[in-house]
A and B are shown apart, each in its own frame.
Chain A
Amino acid sequence: MGQEKIVGKPMLRKEGVAKVCGRARYIDDMTMPGMLHGATVRSSIARGKILGVEFGAGIPWDEFVIVTATDIPGANEIAMINHDWPCLAGEVVNHAEEAILLLAHPDRHLLPKAVAAVHVSCEEWPAVFSIEESERRDPVVWGEDNVFKSFLMEKGDVDAVWTLADRVVEGEYTTGAQEHLYIENNGAIAVYSAEDGLTVWGSLQCPFYVHKSLVKMTGLAEEKVRIVQVETGGAFGGKEDYPSMIGAHAALLAMKSGKPVKIVYDRAEDMAATTKRHPSRVRHRTAVTRDGKLLGAEIEIALDGGAYSTLSSTVLSRATIHAGGPYYWPNIRVRSKAFATNYPPYGAFRGFGAPQSLFAIERHMDHIAEELGIAPDELRRRNFLKPGLETATGQEIREEIDLDHLMGRALAEADYHHKRERFARENAGAESKKKGIGFAAFLHGSGFTGSGEKYLNSLAAMDVTSEGKARVLVSSTEFGQGTNTILCQIAAETLGIDFDAVEMGPPDTSVVPNTGPTVASRTSMVVGKLVHSAAVGLKKTLLASSLLGEGCSTEEFVMAARTYVAQHGALRSESRYEAPPGVHWDDQLYRGEAYAAYAWAVYVAEVTVDQTTWGVTVDDFVAVQEVGRVLNPMLATGQIEGGVAQGIGWALYEKVMWNRGRMGNNQMTNYIIPTSQDIPPIRVFFEERPFGHGAYGAKGIGELPMDGPAPAILNAIAHATGRQFDSVPLLPEDIFRQMAVREPEREVVTL
């Protein structure tokens, strides 16, 4: 570490100049000759049978292209893990905003009127609007029991610990839905001809996910379907699953009309109809000794998956594995279930189940500390995972982690101990404002869970252009996180050439190999390593051709590459994923190496609770993490800060208001995300311990910062108020309900 010239440096964002000049082309910036605009007619009820569709008066219907489920040439399915998510509702609807019918017309201003003029009559059926109703099968709305997926993860003998415990501490923790609120809404453009097949351009994370889904839906041959990612204005998981839907809709209209069709949602439609973070309920029962040693845990996780299974099973898997937090549990049992309800399907969102689980364990740890009269940091110190110990899945910690040190650094940076004592003292006399400080310790697994990376079998490539520039060929996409920049840094460093002499190939399924999806904090660690190997291969070929010598300059590389291409037609090197040694996973028993590596962190939040408005402000935020080698400190810091801001939103502002299965506040006016005046100083610190099997030692970063803010903030609020809040989002009215409304027996005393 430290020898590199490009890796580890704050190289400027590859597509940065285009972005600051307003030149970057997003999907709604594109147009095509003869292009039609598409729109979607959606269900207004949560569950029922479609009886008929009427086209109202006053609309020139003969000018419209109209698509229903009967127009689907292949399978009426958005291909995910299961086969239950229809592209268009046929006979029944299972959630409000489910797509029923598609319209296209050259005049985009006519479309809202046309959508409003389509009347879908339905027989309404009873629907399920909570995890509890789904559990009670009241009624059954999916499969035989409303359960998308369940897991049992077990270590040791939990049943034996309860009699050994000095204390048994119980708690229940809930979290709400969260909207991604990427600033760019979902959108796609499709073009079809029998000769050239189907091409879809879109705002998306995973070109090959969309490809797989559209091949199945259209029945076209794989090579007749081409997916191209265009500049994507934020995603956060929200463009992992849904682009297969909007892409399919644009494709159906294009296939029927023979013309290019663009569908771009407005904000209201995007918020109401697309996926969100899974709401959760997590129950903890913990056996602990008097001096704070964790003996065993029984944890029950329930996720609301919405109406179709989408990615719920994998979100649940990550939630299950992260349920015990960064602690050593000699005995633990986690039972988890993802339930069907009649909300629009929940999907991928940064953190992917881990934030829900980690919120619960980190609030619960503070409860245990309080019950035992032990300081929150001391309780954690006595139970942290250490090298040589095994996680809940039986994975031995082989990385040289030191969570005690990480926590110590975070608490010192935040001046935690001093403030903890001072706030407690000053709050006693404070009438209007009370202050608190709290923290959370957590981990986040990098890459796909278990055997996931093995099944993905990712392939990356590098080639050189006719101008002699090196080119990275991957399906990993840029949507703000910095993919373009860090992969070019890795390639340039490995080839020993300037950063400017490396460029990204187009994220186009007809050009790049399948490097897997851009999700799961896998790009730096997994794809970065593949790019590294492909670059090594490229250089080897050039060295072997004797066009290039060791220690070449960029100019020599470019000359040699050009000559090679002129002589041989092309220069290309590929690299396929190989699991790091010792990585074994049992899908049935949920035992083994759940992740090749984990990122570790301790976050500290300082808050003020206003006793008049019950508003909470976060005054200071310290984020200390160990993410392996930091490839680009500027981009990595930006990832952490952005994730912390989203976590603050999830904790304190962002509440999805449901009205019989429909989102009632699907506007930026009433679904509130943090503004420039709501965010505290976010102070980011990295501990760098290079990971042996990541590119230049990198592990995952992107999702980690979503995990810590909510529990840290609620722990701080408990410190400030002396009251326990175990649910997010926690809005002023939620605090008010618990703090300011007098309890009935008290009123009796007063009378």
Chain B
Amino acid sequence: MSLQSYSLRVNGNIYKVATHPMMRLLDVLRFDLELTGTKEGCGEGECGACSVLMNGELVNSCLVPVAQADGAEIETVEGLGQDEKLHVVQRAFLECGGAQCGMCTPGMLVAAAHLLKKNACPDLAAIREGLNGNLCRCTGYMRIFEAVERAMSSTAEGRG
């Protein structure tokens, strides 16, 4: 199949790529755009390490062909925040020990931010459900739940 041209808006920046229509969005992000924050864990939509937002929806970027993402708005971990301007969930993961090896972390952060956007005050059951597509092998999830709760309360304080 010949190369096709696609346009994506990633973390607010517009990128044009020439690639195969069935190229995975994950590969386009990592190799064409050099946004390597998004990780590959399983390549079959089970682990969620490659989670990104596409037009506001949480997707596994290993299951999205780039042709399907043409013209889409994509948000990755790099777009959440950087260094001095960390997103509230990034800061909470740091402070609560929600990241250990760091490999599930980018996808987990995107999923957690998405969860809090949909539901500003999820209870523990809702947090568990909201993150059930993101596997972590290091933490046993407790520090991650705590981080989401901390992000939730600091957001609430910020509003208050």
| Selected contact of A676 from candidates B80, B83, B131, CB within 8 Å | B131
* Interface residue stretch chosen among A98-106, A149-157, A411-419, A630-638: A630-638
With a cutoff of 8 Å between Cβ atoms, the chain A residues found around residue B129 in the complex are: 676-677
A25 to B106, CA, bound (A): 12
Residues in A1-40 with C-beta less than 8 Å from chain B:
10, 12-13, 15-26, 28-29
A183 touches B104 (CB 8 A): yes
B94 interface residue per 8 A CB criterion: yes
Residues in B121-143 with C-beta less than 8 Å from chain A:
127-129, 131-132, 134-143
B78 touches A22 (CB 8 A): yes
A29 to B37, CA, bound (A): 8
Count how many pairs of residues, one from A and one from B, have CB atoms less than 8 Å apart in the complex. 167
A12 to B91, CA, bound (A): 11
What distance in Å separates the Cβ of B123 from its nearest Cβ neighbour in chain A?
13
Chain B residue total in the interface (Cβ 8 A): 55
Q: Is the interface of A mostly helix, strand, loop or mixed?
A: loop
A228 to B36, CA, bound (A): 20
| Selected contact of B101 from candidates A21, A182, A267, A668, CB within 8 Å | A182
What distance in Å separates the Cβ of B104 from its nearest Cβ neighbour in chain A?
5
Contact of A20 with B142 at beta-carbon distance under 8 Å, contacts A12-B95, A668-B42 already known: no
Residues in B29-45 with C-beta less than 8 Å from chain A:
30, 35-44
B49 interface residue per 8 A CB criterion: yes
B41 touches A267 (CB 8 A): yes
A16 touches B99 (CB 8 A): yes
A480 touches B101 (CB 8 A): yes
Residues in B98-117 with C-beta less than 8 Å from chain A:
99-106, 109
Contact of A22 with B38 at beta-carbon distance under 8 Å, contacts A675-B135, A677-B132 already known: yes
B94 touches A645 (CB 8 A): no
B17 interface residue per 8 A CB criterion: no
With a cutoff of 8 Å between Cβ atoms, the chain A residues found around residue B56 in the complex are: none
A675 to B94, CA, bound (A): 21
With a cutoff of 8 Å between Cβ atoms, the chain B residues found around residue A668 in the complex are: 41-42, 44, 46-47, 135
What distance in Å separates the Cβ of B86 from its nearest Cβ neighbour in chain A?
7
| Selected contact of A184 from candidates B35, B103, B136, CB within 8 Å | B103
B10 interface residue per 8 A CB criterion: no
Which of chain B's residues has its CB closest to A267's CB? B42
With a cutoff of 8 Å between Cβ atoms, the chain B residues found around residue A236 in the complex are: 137
B106 touches A22 (CB 8 A): yes
B99 touches A13 (CB 8 A): yes
Chain A residue total in the interface (Cβ 8 A): 54
With a cutoff of 8 Å between Cβ atoms, the chain A residues found around residue B41 in the complex are: 183-184, 267, 668
| Selected contact of B141 from candidates A17, A29, A234, A679, CB within 8 Å | A679
What string of 1s and 0s marks CB contacts (under 8 Å) between A673-685 and chain B? 1011101011000
B102 touches A267 (CB 8 A): no
B37 touches A22 (CB 8 A): yes
B143 touches A181 (CB 8 A): no
With a cutoff of 8 Å between Cβ atoms, the chain B residues found around residue A677 in the complex are: 128-129, 132
A184 to B36, CA, bound (A): 13
B42 touches A480 (CB 8 A): no
A21 touches B81 (CB 8 A): yes
With a cutoff of 8 Å between Cβ atoms, the chain A residues found around residue B91 in the complex are: 20
A21 touches B46 (CB 8 A): no
With a cutoff of 8 Å between Cβ atoms, the chain A residues found around residue B61 in the complex are: none
What string of 1s and 0s marks CB contacts (under 8 Å) between B65-89 and chain A? 0000000000011101111001000
A481 touches B100 (CB 8 A): yes
With a cutoff of 8 Å between Cβ atoms, the chain A residues found around residue B145 in the complex are: 676
Contact of A21 with B77 at beta-carbon distance under 8 Å, contacts A642-B100, A676-B144 already known: yes
A267 to B76, CA, bound (A): 22
| Selected contact of A480 from candidates B43, B47, B90, B138, CB within 8 Å | B138
A667 to B131, CA, bound (A): 20
With a cutoff of 8 Å between Cβ atoms, the chain A residues found around residue B140 in the complex are: 638, 641-646, 679, 682
What distance in Å separates the Cβ of A684 from its nearest Cβ neighbour in chain B?
8
A236 to B131, CA, bound (A): 23
B44 touches A642 (CB 8 A): no
Chain B interface residues (CB < 8 Å from chain A): 30, 35-44, 46-47, 49, 76-78, 80-83, 86, 90-91, 93-97, 99-106, 109, 127-129, 131-132, 134-145
Chain A interface residues (CB < 8 Å from chain B): 10, 12-13, 15-26, 28-29, 180-184, 231-236, 266-267, 479-482, 634-635, 637-638, 641-646, 667-669, 673, 675-677, 679, 681-682
Beyond the given A26-B36, A638-B100, please list 8 additional residue pairs across the A-B interface where CB-CB is below 8 A. Answer: A16-B99, A22-B78, A29-B30, A183-B104, A668-B47, A669-B46, A676-B128, A676-B131
Please provide the 8 A-B residue pairs with the shortest distance between their CB atoms, ordered closest to farther. Answer: A22-B37, A233-B103, A480-B101, A645-B140, A19-B102, A641-B140, A480-B100, A22-B77
* 14 examples of A-B residue contacts, CB within 8 angstroms: A12-B95, A17-B83, A20-B90, A20-B94, A21-B83, A21-B90, A23-B37, A231-B102, A480-B100, A480-B102, A481-B100, A642-B138, A669-B46, A677-B128
